[in-house]
Amino acid sequence: MTTEPQLYIGLMSGTSLDGVDAVIVPLPGSTLIAEHWLAYPDSLKQALLALHEPTGNELDRAARLANQLSETYADTVKQLLAKAGFDAANIRAIGCHGQTVRHRPADGYTLQLVNAARLAELTGITVVCDFRSRDIAAGGQGAPLVPAFHAAVFGSPELARVIVNIGGIANLTYLSPGKAVTGFDCGPGNMLMDAWVRRHWRQAYDDGGLLASQGEVLPALLERLLAHPFLSAMPPKSAGREEFNLAWLDGMLSGQEVPADVLRSLLELTAEAIARDIRRHCGDAREVYLCGGGARNRLLRGTLANKLGGLHVGLSDDLGVPADWVEAMAFAWLASKTLNGEPGNLPEVTGAAGPRVLGAIYPA
């Protein structure tokens, strides 16, 4: 097994569909050497959104989008390397999550689009991808996979901590000294809020929660939203657009609501779902650290902190890892696990039958 640090690239493009997060990290270790973000063109974003719903000619459209995504990932890698002053030869491998368009563990499958062979060809770097499938084959949810990385870099020998990633979906990792690591998806993170903002304000997201701050929580709507059965289900559990989407939200609305009030209620939904799960499943937690794009939403952060009165709520930056890059770093870490023949999942988190070496390898 390799013990000397080697450089890995991590690529993450999540359910928010905003673009690609890319990092270079030395592994073993948790140092962030370089980072880069490349936005999706709107045409790619819309095509990916359309593929989330069953429609005609899916196989051809998915294959073409996988090629386009791989070219976008390759561009991101090249820009990252140029920014960092490295050559492709310096990098051991790319860990690429791919773009999720279906996640149905109950039906035994998940689909993250990427043509990894094309990505390896375009970059000249070994690619590791398809991290979720082996866990699902072993009876697990295939997600979340980042808790194992959280445990490696954020654990404390003295204090029980919760790491909350607020991406398109919100998930948490519970790190308590002397206990097994646990984690699961809590419910919607930014996904519903972003979709609502795109519809009514033609913006990608609500910067800092400014738009939501102009509205008021609608108690009856919030009650209907919180009644979603996923939110009260026991872990292990994982979610995606299949559970939380605009069609579901529209079914909860009369059509007479003020858009800012709906947005404020969606923010409350995200905060309440996270807070409930922390209270229910993380009893001795003393600290909560946020990462992901939603961690930068000041209104969301403050709302969650108010609901968790008595707990310290900070950012993963406080622990030495910038909140915006945690997930990309996790997939670099998972790629290193794969190449070293080490398990990357936590059965206590995903529900798999046991530890499994995750991922498919496409050599350079």
Q: How many CB atoms lie within 10 A of CB 210?
A: 11
Cα angle value 204/147/133 (rounded, 5°)? 80
Taking the C-alpha atoms of residue 362 and residue 56, their distance in angstroms, rounded to an integer, is 30
- Which pLDDT score, from 0 to 100, does residue 1 have? 46
Domain that holds residue 40: 6-142+324-362
- Which pLDDT score, from 0 to 100, does residue 264 have? 98
Taking the C-alpha atoms of residue 292 and residue 40, their distance in angstroms, rounded to an integer, is 17
Q: Are residues 165 and 314 in the same domain?
A: yes
Q: Are residues 291 and 276 in the same domain?
A: yes
Q: Are residues 189 and 283 in the same domain?
A: yes
What's the Cα-to-Cα distance from 13 to each of 22, 44, 71, rounded to whole Å? 9, 12, 14
Q: Does residue 12 sit within a domain?
A: yes
Q: Does residue 1 sit within a domain?
A: no
Q: Taking a C-beta distance cutoff of 8 angstroms, is the pair 349, 236 a contact?
A: yes
**What are the DSSP E strand ranges found in 109-168?**
109-113, 127-129, 161-166
Taking the C-alpha atoms of residue 19 and residue 41, their distance in angstroms, rounded to an integer, is 8
Regarding beta strands 34-39 and 19-27, do their DSSP bridges make them parallel or antiparallel, or are they unpaired? antiparallel
- Which pLDDT score, from 0 to 100, does residue 11 have? 98
Q: Are residues 12 and 91 in the same domain?
A: yes
Q: Are residues 315 and 329 in the same domain?
A: no
Instruction: Write down the residue that tokens 């995903």 correspond to.
Output: 350
Q: Are residues 129 and 179 in the same domain?
A: no
Positions in the chain whose pLDDT score sits under 70: 1-3
Q: Does residue 278 sit within a domain?
A: yes
- Which pLDDT score, from 0 to 100, does residue 237 have? 95
Cα 69–chain centre separation: 17
Q: Does residue 298 sit within a domain?
A: yes
The SS3 call for residue 183 is strand
Structure tokens at 34: 């370089």
Query: What would the pLDDT profile of 50-83 be if each residue is shown by its tens digit?
Result: 998 888 899 999 999 999 999 999 999 999 999 9
- Which pLDDT score, from 0 to 100, does residue 3 have? 66
Query: What would the pLDDT profile of 306-360 be if each residue is shown by its tens digit?
Result: 999 989 999 999 999 999 999 999 999 999 999 999 999 999 999 999 999 999 9
Structure tokens at 14: 């999540």
Q: Are residues 260 and 213 in the same domain?
A: yes
Specify the DSSP class assigned to residue 54.
-
Report long-range pairs for 245-252 (Cβ below 8 Å, ≥24 apart): 245/52, 245/191, 245/192, 245/195, 246/192, 246/195, 246/196, 246/199, 249/192, 249/195, 249/196, 249/225, 252/221, 252/224, 252/225
Q: Are residues 79 and 125 in the same domain?
A: yes
Q: Taking a C-beta distance cutoff of 8 angstroms, is the pair 259, 196 a contact?
A: yes
Q: Are residues 207 and 307 in the same domain?
A: yes
Structure tokens at 284: 């001795």
Q: Are residues 309 and 339 in the same domain?
A: no
Specify the DSSP class assigned to residue 16.
T
The SS3 call for residue 181 is coil
Domain count, the chain: 2
The CATH number that applies at residue 106 is: 3.30.420.40
**DSSP character string of 263-310:** HHHHHHHHHHHHHHHHHHH-TT--EEEEESGGGG-HHHHHHHHHHTTT
Q: Are residues 172 and 282 in the same domain?
A: yes
pTM comes to 0.94
Q: Are residues 53 and 82 in the same domain?
A: yes
Give the length of the chain. 364
Residue of 3, 323, 330 lying closest to 165 (CA atoms): 323
Single-letter amino acid, residue 3: T
